[in-house]
Amino acid sequence: MCPPSTPLAAALDDVKRAPLPPGDGLLADLVCANHILYDQGVVDAFGHVSVRHDRDPERFLLARNMAPGQVGASDIVSFTLDGEPIDAGGRRVYIERFIHAEIYRAHPQVQAIVHSHSPAIVPLTISRGTPLRAVFHMAGFIGTGAPVFEIRDVVGDGSDLLVRDGRIGAALARQFEGHPIVLMRGHGSTVVGESLKQVVYRAVYAEVNARVQTTALGLGEVSYLSEAECASCMSSHEAQAERPWALWKEEARRRRA
């Protein structure tokens, strides 16, 4: 079979690279997710949230390099699963986009991701004897012990702890087998979900759980949720993720009116 002519091949390449517009609802929800996570203290000037493209599972949507609380619809960029921006138009993008790219590549069921440095989580990334565990019913998804990603195992000593390329991102992505949240030593955490609403719920309540757990540890012996309780709580309470989403969304809208 003869190869396509050069003009045709070039045209096909252009089609493959061309950004597909996401649904208006998905774009609006991604902007809202950025604002909610900032308002709830999960992210500050740093951190990011992404969603898999609703028209192309081989792409995802993530804001350009900026503070999440200031993200607008025009700031959203489409990326390939190599972490390459499709329509950045020369704008800077997040260094750690490879967190998102490699998780989406490795886990087709994942539809949304939050990466943050939320303050109650960070101490549990460096406390070797105290893993993050579910201590109350809203955080059953954490389970009986969240894994901690050690970047030294991938790049050795002397890194800036950032996920700067696909190799580090792929190593992090492997930690999500059976876990919706992975802590990152001296850095923060990454949470995955099957929707934006679910992943925002998880990111917020992971931070709340970390605060409650740390407070309880100062009082004495802690009674953690069992594995069976974690599974039951996750099934029951995450089915109601729409309730906090609606509240947080309205609060975010009012703050920015």
Taking phi over 0 as left and psi of -120 to 50 as alpha, with beta for the rest, 89 belongs to left
**Residue 46 is encoded by which pair of tokens?**
């740093």
Q: Alpha-carbon distance 173 to 215, whole Å? A: 30
CA torsion, ordered 22, 65, 35, 148, to nearest 10 deg: 100
DSSP 182-217: EEETTTEEEEEESSHHHHHHHHHHHHHHHHHHHHHH
Q: Alpha-carbon distance 206 to 139, whole Å? A: 6
Active-site residue list? 96
Instruction: Please give the backbone phi and psi of residue 172, each rounded to the nearest 5 degrees, phi first.
Output: -65, -45
Beta bridge partners of 116: 189
Strand 112-116 and strand 188-193: the pairing is: antiparallel
- Please tell me whether residue 25 adopts helix, strand or coil conformation: helix
